Amino acid sequence: MKTKMFKPTVLALSLFAAGASFAGEIEVLHWWTSGGEAKAASALKLTLQQKGDRWKDFAVAGGGGDSAMTVLKSRVVSGNAPSAAQIKGPSIQEWAQEGVLANMDDVAKAEKWDESLPKVVSDIMKYKGHYVAVPVNVHRVNWLWANPEVFKKAGVKVPTTWDEFFTAAEALKKAGVTPVAHGGQNWQDFTTFEAVALGVGGTDFYKKALVQRDAATLSSPTMEKVLTTFKKVKDYTDKNAPGRDWNLATAMVINGQAGMQIMGDWAKGEFLAAGKTPGKDFVCVPAPGTDKAYTFNVDSFAMFKLKDKANIEAQKHLAAAIMAPQFQEVFNLNKGSIPVRLNMPMDKFDDCAKTSSKDFVATSKSGALLPSIAHGMAVPSAAEGAMKDAVSQFWNDDKMTAKDAMAKIASAAKAQ
Ligand code: BGC
């Protein structure tokens, strides 16, 4: 029975290709609604349609996915789960514990996922040793995106240390542009915060303070320095930053209204969708002080238990398609990320992706490959949410001291 599913006959294949009536429906929850993201999402849709399945888009706008997760919860609670949902990191385990995720071991075995994935990734996709989710890509989060033309006008170089960052920011301000394009939403605040924590505190600090949530490290002088540096970044953002979507912040760098943005490489998808060329119209450099480290964010789809046979079959098509080399290439060329599959040719990818790929391998050996907290890869969702709120409170409240913030973050980190 199971073998049949993966070795369809020629007749079955042609019926699928012709969009035969028994094709299943695939409803996929995601939050890929910006220019670059939508292009990548449509590559997924097309792949499935080519297999004869019906794609039902379930897009919930909102960078970072907070709104999507709220909608997902209410759908699952009412017994109406989609086929697949963009769920990442420890949340996969949380959903699996609820007993609502489907076992994908048969697809994984047939498609050799264990052999094709880095262990750090396949471990995240499994619950009690069984695959319940499929990874799409690897995003690097600790990037700085800059408009070289704007930097040239201001007469400064793109920064590689935090000292250089503030020197550049001053010069950009004097030149009349917004130095740092930022969107004041808690996941964006935390994306900046974790980049500062890594750049100022280093790899061991990042692990101890933010991943292991060690109380002493969270109350250390290094943490105070991190928070003070983080808050200083705010001086170089504009007054319209609160609430701004990340892609609108990227647009400010694209059109020269701002000099730089700290953001994961989904931002590259926006530059590319706007017809910009990497290395010429925009540059990517690791966030200041973080070139020897890599904060990763793996997008993945968790598969929900379904009842309808044709839909279950279509769900397996989706799982197999996501990991197929051709899809991994097309999708990631649009998304700004790199393929999650090992040993993929990188010749069609640009230099930002090539650097990301090289650094992913190097840091996985050096111990500096780190999960992003801001993007749901490191800590239980309750702690993540509480820590994000505490960091954003400090960012927004100019009366709050770094010491007060340290106490708030340390207490938030205890949430389970
Ligand atoms: C996701 C990306 C997405 C970004 C902005 C991240 O958490 O992993 O796929 O592009 O949020 O929405």
SS3 89: coil
The token duo for 343 is: 């040993």
Percent of residues, the chain, with pLDDT higher than 70: 95
Is the confidence at residue 386, as pLDDT, over 50? yes
Q: CA dihedral in degrees (357, 362, 367, 372; nearest 10)?
A: -20
Q: What does the pLDDT average to over 362-389? A: 97
Which of 334, 369, 338 has its CA nearest to residue 353?
A: 338
- Identify the helix (H) or strand (E) that includes residue 114: helix 113-116
Which of 205, 347, 214 has its CA nearest to residue 289?
A: 205
Q: Which atom of ligand 1 is nearest to the CA of 266?
A: 10
20 pLDDT band, cuts 50/70/90, is very low
Distance 297 CA to ligand 1 centre (A): 8
Name the CATH code of domain 143-296+367-412 (choices 3.40.50.1470, 3.40.50.300, 1.20.1740.10, 3.40.190.10). 3.40.190.10
pLDDT (0 to 100) of residue 6: 38
Q: What does the pLDDT average to over 136-140? A: 98
Is the confidence at residue 15, as pLDDT, over 60? no
pLDDT (0 to 100) of residue 10: 46
SS3 56: strand
> Which range is least confidently modeled, 19-33, 85-99, 322-336, 337-351?
19-33
The token duo for 84 is: 């697949």
272-302 pLDDT tens trace: 999 999 999 999 999 999 999 999 999 999 9
The token duo for 326 is: 């051709």
The token duo for 196 is: 């500062």
CB 155 within 8 A of CB 171: yes
Distance 250 CA to ligand 1 centre (A): 13
Backbone phi, then psi, for 295, in 5-degree steps? -95, 120
Cα 254-257-262 angle, rounded to 5 deg: 60
Q: What does the pLDDT average to over 110-118? A: 98
The residue whose C-alpha atom lies closest to atom 1 belonging to ligand 1 is 64
pLDDT (0 to 100) of residue 37: 96
The residue whose C-alpha atom lies closest to atom 10 belonging to ligand 1 is 266
56-110 pLDDT tens trace: 999 999 999 999 999 999 999 999 999 999 999 999 999 999 999 999 999 999 9
| Domain boundaries defined on the chain | 10-139+298-355, 143-296+367-412
pLDDT (0 to 100) of residue 116: 97
CB 59 within 8 A of CB 32: yes
Q: Which atom of ligand 1 is nearest to the CA of 62?
A: 12
pLDDT (0 to 100) of residue 22: 62
CB 299 within 8 A of CB 135: yes
Give helix 221-234 / helix 381-396 axis angle, nearest 10°.
60
Mutate to test the pocket of ligand 1, among 297, 298, 301, 384 (most ligand atoms within 8 A of CB): 297
CB 139 within 8 A of CB 264: yes
Same fold, 10-139+298-355 and 143-296+367-412: yes
Q: What does the pLDDT average to over 27-41? A: 96
Distance 242 CA to ligand 1 centre (A): 19
**What does pLDDT average to over the chain?**
94
Contact residues of ligand 1, CB 6 A cut-off? 31, 37, 63-65, 139, 246, 266, 297, 299, 375
Q: What does the pLDDT average to over 38-63? A: 94
Residue 184 gets which letter from DSSP? B
SS3 182: coil
Q: Tokens 């760098």, residue? A: 253
What is the Cα–Cα distance from 165 to 172, expressed in whole angstroms? 10
What is the Cα–Cα distance from 207 to 9, expressed in whole angstroms? 50
SS3 107: helix
CB 184 within 8 A of CB 192: no
The residue whose C-alpha atom lies closest to atom 6 belonging to ligand 1 is 64
14 pLDDT band, cuts 50/70/90, is very low
**Model pTM?**
0.94
pLDDT (0 to 100) of residue 8: 45
Q: Tokens 């040719």, residue? A: 345
The residue whose C-alpha atom lies closest to atom 8 belonging to ligand 1 is 299
Strand ranges, E, within 115-236: 126-127, 130-131, 133-135, 137-140, 143-146, 178-180
* End-to-end CA separation in angstroms for the chain: 42
CATH architecture group of domain 10-139+298-355: 3-Layer(aba) Sandwich (3.40)
Is the confidence at residue 13, as pLDDT, over 70? no
What is the Cα–Cα distance from 411 to 325, expressed in whole angstroms? 44
